[in-house]
Amino acid sequence: MPTPLRPKSSQVRRFSRWLLALTLVVLNPACASSNGALNLPAPVQSTTLGVGDEFELRIAGEEKLPTTYVVAPDGSVDFPFVNRLNVAGMEPQQVAAAVRTALIDKEFYTNPSVSVLVKAYNSKRIEIIGEVKKPGSLPLEPGMTIFRAISLSGGFAPMADRTSVTLRRRSNGTVKIVKIDITKIIDNKMEDVPLQAGDTINVEQNIM
């Protein structure tokens, strides 16, 4: 009966190292990515308008009309030709459609082209505290990221620990807290982290 072939000891060691590495990746998915926010719940992006939100509305061919509007405390906006419309809770495209319909109904236009672009969601805010030059509350911009929020807060203060920035997010009734190394974002070693309304950023102090 032939003697079965046995793997060489070097092959066994290589296989053992490969198996250990695979096990670590399975047990800790963060090892498979350089993104420190991998386990952070995806941001809930609400784009409906609220009180204080600022947006641009343009009617094609009407360059002389005002373009910047702010939602009033009662949720309405006063538009040229249209008068007041309640826009609170509406999506930007719904506002554009409502203005377009009103312009046609009032017989100012037959087929107007209306566009709406949100500039700042003042009704949706984030908080940034700690070692930044201007801590406080910021309006959520469309597509805002943690690096952008720090920049809008004046950047890091001299004592800031750029490798240990805490992001606190509430999602589905629970709070998730993660540590983010901003230097990795600056060095393009991880993706920037998108924010959602209600997020809190804490830039910790470098105690070294």
> Residue 151 has what pLDDT?
96
- Structure tokens given for 37: 């926010």
CB-side exposure of 85: number of CA atoms within 13 Å? Answer: 20
Supply the mean pLDDT for the chain. 84
Closest C-alpha among 72, 190, 203, 78 to residue 136:
203
Residues 6+ apart with CB under 8 A from 45: 196
> Residue 66 has what pLDDT?
87
Mean pLDDT, range 108-136, rounded to an integer: 94
- Give the count of beta carbons closer than 10 Å to the beta carbon of residue 97: 14
Q: Are 87 and 98 in contact (CB under 8 A)?
A: yes
Per-residue confidence at 172, pLDDT binned at 50, 70, 90? confident
Domains within the chain, CATH numbers bracketed: 54-120 (3.30.1950.10), 124-205 (3.10.560.10)
Position 82, amino acid: V
136: left (phi > 0), else alpha (psi -120 to 50), else beta?
Answer: left
